[in-house]
């Protein structure tokens, strides 16, 4: 069964809006675990506009599920990850001022850089995933870096799914199959939702993990957080 990792950045955004500790990020993360999620994802950015460095340190000893930290591998980010030692680190190519992730790595053009980062994290016993577009050559290049997994950038799938689900899933199935053949685990994330997740999961049965934040938190405004987590988990069966 595919794991559901819930990205809690939006909870931190809401908390930061008032400058206080409401909602309490740690309490929400623990509730999400209790409601059935298999992991918690955070994406600390340099400006700390949502997740802060101290949030990451406070969360680590509290969580019982897998902890995934996403981010661009700057020296500051690397230092944070090596100190916290999460279950997984996901490397994304975002600029410091990026609103959200908008593309995967050009792995071939950054192969030496990524290989050196992967080596540092693997020496620390941290599973490493590289955020990529659904492209077979890119997946093969990611495998050559020594990474453990790739995370497929699924916004193109989400955009096309309403009008042509088969065309939407095709490149992702091919990329996931190539990853599996190369010995990589397959994660996925970005704009996956209750509308499109079940179809995606059913077509890629060897999917290890999905990381979902924005859509899940939006759904929780209407359904409640516990019911929302349960519905997302049901999509992954």
| Residues catalogued as catalytic | 43, 70, 190
62 in Cβ contact with 26 (< 8 Å): yes
Nearest to 70 by CA among 142, 8, 124: 8
Query: Which residues contact residue 111 at a Cβ distance below 8 angstroms, ignoring those fewer than 6 apart?
Result: 141, 144, 145
User: Which two three-digit tokens encode residue 2?
Assistant: 């595919």
CA angle 216, 220, 226 (to 5 degrees): 100
Taking the C-alpha atoms of residue 152 and residue 92, their distance in angstroms, rounded to an integer, is 11
145 in Cβ contact with 122 (< 8 Å): no
**Which helix H or strand E contains 127, and what residues bound it?**
strand 127-132
Taking the C-alpha atoms of residue 122 and residue 192, their distance in angstroms, rounded to an integer, is 28
**DSSP secondary structure code for residue 51 in this structure:** S
User: Which two three-digit tokens encode residue 212?
Assistant: 């979902």
Phi-psi region of 146 (alpha: psi -120 to 50; beta: other; left: phi over 0): left
Taking the C-alpha atoms of residue 173 and residue 44, their distance in angstroms, rounded to an integer, is 30
Taking the C-alpha atoms of residue 77 and residue 148, their distance in angstroms, rounded to an integer, is 19
């Amino acid at each position: 069964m595919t794991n559901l990792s819930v990205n809690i950045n939006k909870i931190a955004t809401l908390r930061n809006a008032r400058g206080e500790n409401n909602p309490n990020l740690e309490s929400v993360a623990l509730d999400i675990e209790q409601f059935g999620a298999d992991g918690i994802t955070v994406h600390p950015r340099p400006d700390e506009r949502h997740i802060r460095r101290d949030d990451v340190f406070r969360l680590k000893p509290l969580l019982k599920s897998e902890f995934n930290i996403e981010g661009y591998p700057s020296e500051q980010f690397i230092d944070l990850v090596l100190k916290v030692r999460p279950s997984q680190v996901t490397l994304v190519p975002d600029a410091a001022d990026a609103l959200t992730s908008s593309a995967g790595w050009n792995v071939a053009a950054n192969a030496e850089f990524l290989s050196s980062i992967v080596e540092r994290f693997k020496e620390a016993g941290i599973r490493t995933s590289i955020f990529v577009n659904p492209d077979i050559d890119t997946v093969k290049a990611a495998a050559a870096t020594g990474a453990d997994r790739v995370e497929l950038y699924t916004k193109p799938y989400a955009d096309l799914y309403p009008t042509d689900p088969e065309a939407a899933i095709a490149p992702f199935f091919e990329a996931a199959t190539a990853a599996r053949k190369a010995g990589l685990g397959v994660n996925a994330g970005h704009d996956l939702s209750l509308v499109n997740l079940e179809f995606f999961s059913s077509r890629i049965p060897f999917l290890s993990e999905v990381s979902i934040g924005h859509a899940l938190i939006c759904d929780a405004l209407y359904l409640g957080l516990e019911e929302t987590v349960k519905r997302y988990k049901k999509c992954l069966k």
